[in-house]
């Protein structure tokens, strides 16, 4: 595992925010799912196995590239 891999921070702004980790490789597949309730925070890392992270629901997302908000307006 690359210890210098990028991290993101996700803070749920509503109950039921879903964070889905997607695999690397020939076929992209779901490999991990987490549910957050309002106010909960998760720190996620891109690794050898995780190439993308999908977020469903309203959440603040912080990365080294800046911050943004996911979900419904």
Task: List, for residues 29-47, the tens digit of each pLDDT value.
Answer: 778 899 999 999 999 888 7
Q: Given this model, what pLDDT does residue 65 score? A: 92
Q: Given this model, what pLDDT does residue 4 score? A: 61
CATH architecture of 7-61: Sandwich (2.60)
Is 49's pLDDT higher than 90? Answer: no
The domain ranges of the chain are: 7-61
Beta carbons of 22 and 31 less than 8 angstroms apart = yes
Q: Given this model, what pLDDT does residue 3 score? A: 55
Beta carbons of 55 and 46 less than 8 angstroms apart = no
Mean pLDDT across the chain, nearest whole number?
87
Is 1's pLDDT higher than 70? Answer: no
Dist CA 20 CA 23 (whole Å): 10
């Amino acid at each position: 595992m690359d210890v210098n891999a990028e991290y993101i921070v996700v803070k749920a702004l509503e109950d039921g925010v879903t964070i889905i980790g997607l695999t690397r490789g020939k076929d992209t597949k779901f490999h991990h799912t987490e549910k957050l309730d309002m106010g909960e925070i998760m720190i996620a890392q891109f690794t050898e196995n995780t190439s993308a992270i999908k977020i469903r629901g309203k959440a603040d997302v912080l990365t080294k590239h800046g911050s943004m908000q996911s979900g419904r307006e």
